[in-house]
Amino acid sequence: MIILWWVTFIFLLIRFLVAALNYWFPQLLKKDVSSVTDLVSILVPARNEEHTIGLLLRSIYEQNFRNYEVLVLDDFSVDNTADMVRESRKTDSRVKLLNGKELPEKMLGKSWACHQLALAAKGRYLLFLDADVVIKDDFITNAVNKLKNDNLALLSVFPDQKMESREEILVVPLMNYLLLSLLPMFLIRKSHLPSFSAAVGQCMLYDAPTYKKHSIHLAVGNNITEDIASMKFLKELGYNCHSVLGNGFIECRMYRNYTEGIEGFAKNILSGFGNSYTALLLYLFLSFFAYLWFLWFIPKTHLWLAFILIGYMRFMISKISRQNVFDNIVYHPWQMLTLIHISLLAIQKKITKTSKWKGRITDL
């Protein structure tokens, strides 16, 4: 029993120290409005995005940076996505609508859409944005300068996550909680090891010549987490890559209800644990179930120390993620139950090969 307690506590302490490193040495997108003269291709894969695409296109138009083209690929939408893009074109002639081609075998929908967009792009830099993202201030200039100054082939920016309901609070903060307590983000840039990779498909900025040389989305086209796979692919080839937090320059309302959030996270959570059921279940045990067991067998002073570390860890991660500290601490037990729900659903879908997203199978 004592050995199990120490294993659990040491695992907590490691996660706490990782969170502290990310808190004290935050990897953030910072303001840098040095002149950018090259053309930037802003590439948006869109499948049934009528409720969000207009906000994104408006936020692009309001940027100070003007040397861009916007290519939106309508990926067989059955709503008014295409009409929304055409309406935006009345205000900004740099917006162009492309019609997606049929999905090939052994390739997933988003990667295929991104590949088609890249083929049509003319820019020196390729900025892939999800349709539910909104960019602010000088985001494009800041991101391009970060890519150039750090000599990167790929820069991924984690948007600030907007949450407008209790259901979203139970799900969405889990992404940054897992990321920032398991991976010191500075190692993404400092280490060429592919295992130190993290990226989010909501915002991926590529050096265009490097991207096109290796046809990145074609190369990783059968991977559901094409964002992380792209970074690993480039790092294996020796390129520099990095991921930073949005720091107020970009935001996203990822999911709008509990069911959508559960389904969304379930399709890719296993990849964060090396597609290992064992690793994911061990994480759940050491980060949640073990504490329920220890309630009966471990002195309460030991447990209070653990709970204080968990609380302060949530504080640090919430602050650097620009999330509500109170909500994430108060709802932590329910968020962990949500994580268990997501994990079991992910394992069930993986075993039965029934994972879908936006009407398409995601497990090839």
Given a contact cutoff of 8 angstroms between Cβ atoms, the answer to whether 68 and 140 are in contact is yes
pLDDT recorded at residue 353 = 76
Burial classification of residue 274, based on how many CB atoms lie within 10 Å of its CB (0-12 exposed, 13-18 middle, 19 or more buried):
exposed
Superfamily of domain 40-256: Spore Coat Polysaccharide Biosynthesis Protein SpsA; Chain A (3.90.550.10)
CA 299 from chain centre, in angstroms, equals 39
pLDDT recorded at residue 181 = 98
pLDDT recorded at residue 351 = 85
For 25-53, the pLDDT digits (tens) are: 999 999 999 999 999 999 999 999 999 99
Contacts of 150 (CB under 8 A, 6+ apart): 189, 240, 242
Tell me what the mean pLDDT of segment 333-350 comes to.
94
Residue 337 has pLDDT above 70, yes or no: yes
Q: Is 147 helix (H, G, I), strand (E, B) or coil?
A: helix
Tell me what the mean pLDDT of segment 191-208 comes to.
96
pLDDT recorded at residue 225 = 92
Q: What is the mean pLDDT of the chain?
A: 93
Instruction: Evaluate the CA torsion angle 339, 340, 342, 347 in order and state its sign.
Output: positive
Tell me what the mean pLDDT of segment 189-212 comes to.
96
**Number of alpha carbons in the 13 Å side-chain half-sphere of residue 13:** 8
pLDDT recorded at residue 356 = 64
The amino acid that residue 34 corresponds to is S
Given a contact cutoff of 8 angstroms between Cβ atoms, the answer to whether 260 and 132 are in contact is no
Tell me what the mean pLDDT of segment 221-245 comes to.
96
Instruction: Evaluate the CA torsion angle 281, 23, 315, 326 in order and state its sign.
Output: negative
More confident residue, 275 or 245: 245
CA 131 from chain centre, in angstroms, equals 14
Residue 200 has pLDDT above 70, yes or no: yes
More confident residue, 267 or 358: 267
Residue 364 has pLDDT above 60, yes or no: no
For 129-144, the pLDDT digits (tens) are: 999 999 998 999 999 9
361: pLDDT confidence band, cut at 50, 70 and 90?
low
What are the residue ranges spanned by the domains of the chain? 2-25+260-361, 40-256
Tell me what the mean pLDDT of segment 107-114 comes to.
94
Beta bridge partners of 157: 244
Residue 56 has pLDDT above 60, yes or no: yes
pLDDT recorded at residue 209 = 98
Beta bridge partners of 360: 357
256: pLDDT confidence band, cut at 50, 70 and 90?
confident
Instruction: Evaluate the CA torsion angle 118, 119, 120, 123 in order and state its sign.
Output: positive
In whole angstroms, give the CA distance from residue 82 to residue 296.
Answer: 59
Say if strands 203-207 and 95-99 run parallel, antiparallel, or are unpaired.
unpaired
More confident residue, 302 or 244: 244
12: pLDDT confidence band, cut at 50, 70 and 90?
very high
298: pLDDT confidence band, cut at 50, 70 and 90?
confident
pLDDT recorded at residue 99 = 96
Residue 360 has pLDDT above 70, yes or no: no
